[in-house]
Amino acid sequence: MHQLDSADTSFPDTVSDIKIGYIGGGSHGWAHTLINDLLQCEDLAGHVALYDVDYAAAEQNATLGNDLSAREDAMGDWTFDAYEALEDALEGADFVICSIQDPPEETFVHDIDVPKEYDIYQPVADTCGPGGAVRSLRAIPQYREIAAAVREQCPDAWVLNYTNPMTVCTRALYEEYPDINAIGLCHEVFHIQILLAELAEKYIDEAEDVAGSEIDVNVKGINHFTWIDEATWYGHDVFQYLDDELEVRKPLPSSETGDLEDADYWINHHEIAFDLYDTFGLLGAAGDRHLVEFVPWYLDIDEPAEIQRWGFRLTPSSARVSDSDDGPAKMDTYLADPEEFEFTQSGEEAVDIMRALVGLEALKTNVNHPNVGQIPDLPDGAVVESNVLITGAGVKPITAGELPREIRNMVTTAVHNQETLVEAGFAGDLDLAFEAFLNEPLVTISREDAQDLFAELIEIEREYFDEYDLENAAVLEN
């Protein structure tokens, strides 16, 4: 028998001496989540090396981590230190976590606001579209550097990437260091699982208090533009109820322009996901704010409020800037009194993945990984999103099957653009990058305006493009 848990074996119950190198270790978001999750895990222990361009921030997190580790209700046995050099943080690491936002947040403002001047609206601008494209170009040199450091310092480490653009960053790691062990993690699908769990509760008599993680979904596509064609709850087909639910929700869209003016910026009713299901037959498996950036039909609007008809909002660039963030204030509170920090169920999987990789407990989840056959109709080697099985033997993608032709059509467009951006990023070739930029589905403006927009985005963040051959880029000439 080959059951997947190791409960009845002689394998040790605890794995110690783990070293985690954390790039972006000064953050208030992911870093705190990791500290939270590690200190609630009873069978792992070791050291976390925090690296950040903002060394002081990493130091604060190290202090917080050690303070919390000293609390009575903390499990495991973890120490935290800040490092000034990336190399030192990664040296001998078993795991490397990347969660960076660098170049700084101002770039986010440009990525959203400049295209808006050309009537191109983007709710997120971190993955695709004009904003996502230039963000990709900026990220690639950084990820080359990370991959090179991994190759030098910890060639066998598992790299868990949380940074967007997820696909391009993860792909750049493999392009620089093909033998790297890296996966990209994203929780968008988890939200769709929760939606499906609600459907299970609603339509299956015996299903009560169903957790999203109980919904077994077949995931296929690319990050933020992935699709579900099967969903079961312990063998019960949940997918069949989508048609019923769609009838309830119709007509779509269900709101009017301006309806959500007072709503939270991150509100999401899955109406785009359902509309894609209605049109193409599979369920779009990311938040609507991401899904709409991959097709031209929803953001063809005259003013931002119009998109509210579909139940979500355009996040203004102002919401992306740190000073709208209460992180620093909280940090002060925690450092003053570590007991103020509340241990929670984060819902993130990094620690579960580490537990699986050291051999403690097998895990099936969806991650971003180079295509080795899991989605046979997408290009080999492109980073795709599907389920994988994670065990002590590593990460093995699970075959997800082919996509229906017209969904493949849309996904392939994005894959080709991402591959071209990576190629352009490694070659420092902005003319090549512009080919992909033009083929972004949101770029439906004239060829000349598109060139102006691209050039303007590069100009405004010129300092982050020093790895690119700006001198000879024809696209920057007028």
In whole angstroms, how close is the CB of 410 to a copy of itself at the nearest point? 7
**By CB under 8 A, is residue 445 in contact with a copy of itself?**
yes
Among 144, 146, 145, 120, which Cα is nearest to 133's? 120
In terms of Cα–Cα distance, which of 421, 427, 410 is closest to 454?
421
Residues 348-377 binding a copy of itself (CB under 8 A) are 349, 352, 357-365, 372-376
Region binding a copy of itself by CB under 8 A among candidate stretches 66-74, 76-84, 126-134, 441-449: 441-449
User: Would you say 50 or 133 has its CB closer to a copy of itself?
Assistant: 133
Nearest residue (CB) to a copy of itself, 236 versus 249: 236
* Pairing verdict, β 95-98 and 158-161: parallel
Shortest distance, CB of residue 259 to a copy of itself, whole angstroms?
A: 16
Site for a copy of itself in 376-415 (CB under 8 A): 376, 380, 387, 389, 391-394, 396-401, 405-406, 408-410, 412-413
Angstrom distance (rounded) from CA 308 to CA 301: 11
User: Parallel, antiparallel, or unpaired for β 225-233 and 236-237?
Assistant: antiparallel
Measure the CA–CA gap between 456 and 415, rounded to whole angstroms: 25
Question: Quick check: 111 and 130 in contact, CB under 8 A?
Answer: yes
For 446, list phi and psi in degrees, rounded to 5: -70, 155
Binds a copy of itself (CB under 8 A): choice among 6, 63, 66, 255 = 6
Q: State which of positions 209-238 bind a copy of itself (CB under 8 A).
A: 209-211, 213-214, 216, 218, 230, 232-236
344 touching a copy of itself, by CB under 8 A: no
Min CB(122)–a copy of itself separation in Å: 15
- 452 in contact with a copy of itself (CB under 8 A): no
Among 438, 455, 460, 470, binds a copy of itself (CB under 8 A): 438
Q: How far is the CB of 47 from a copy of itself (least distance, A)?
A: 19
Q: Nearer to a copy of itself by C-beta: 136 or 365? A: 365
Query: In the bound complex, what is the minimum distance in angstroms from residue 323's beta carbon to a copy of itself?
Result: 34
Nearer to a copy of itself, 26 or 221 (CB): 221
Q: Which is nearer to a copy of itself, 71 or 396 (CB)?
A: 396
- What burial class does residue 337 get, using C-beta atoms within 10 Å of its C-beta: 0-12 exposed, 13-18 middle, 19+ buried? exposed
18 vs 149, which CB is nearer to a copy of itself? Answer: 18
Distance from the Cα of residue 309 to its chain's centroid:
26
Residue of 169, 113, 173 lying closest to 139 (CA atoms):
169
In 177-196, which positions are buried (b, 16+ CB within 10 angstroms) versus exposed (e)? beebbbbbbbebbbbbbebb
Binding region for a copy of itself (CB under 8 A) out of 5-13, 159-167, 324-332, 464-472: 5-13
Nearer to a copy of itself, 303 or 332 (CB): 303
Interface of this chain with a copy of itself, residues 167 to 196, rule: CB under 8 A:
none
> Is residue 151 near a copy of itself by the rule CB under 8 A?
no
Within 10 angstroms of residue 443's Cβ, the number of other Cβ atoms is 22
59-63 long-range contacts, Cβ below 8 Å, gap at least 24?
60/26, 60/331, 60/335, 61/25, 61/26, 61/27, 61/31, 61/32, 61/35, 62/25, 63/335
Catalytic (active-site) positions: 187
Residues 252-291 that bind a copy of itself (CB under 8 A): 275, 278-280
**CB 142, CB 165: distance < 8 Å:** no
CA–CA separation, 323 vs 321, rounded Å?
6
Count CB-CB contacts under 10 A for residue 398. 13
Q: 405-427 and 166-176 are packed helices; what angle lies between their axes, rounded to 10 degrees? A: 50
CB of 373 to a copy of itself, least distance (A): 3
- Least Å distance, CB 117 to a copy of itself, is 16
Residue 316 or residue 381: which is nearer to a copy of itself going by CB? 381
Q: Which x/- pattern over 36-75 shows residues binding a copy of itself (rule: CB under 8 A)?
A: ----------------------------------------
Q: Is 300 a residue that touches a copy of itself (CB under 8 A)?
A: yes
SS3 20: strand
Site string for a copy of itself, 95-134 (x = CB under 8 A): ----------------------------------------
| Number of residues binding to a copy of itself, judged by CB under 8 A | 88
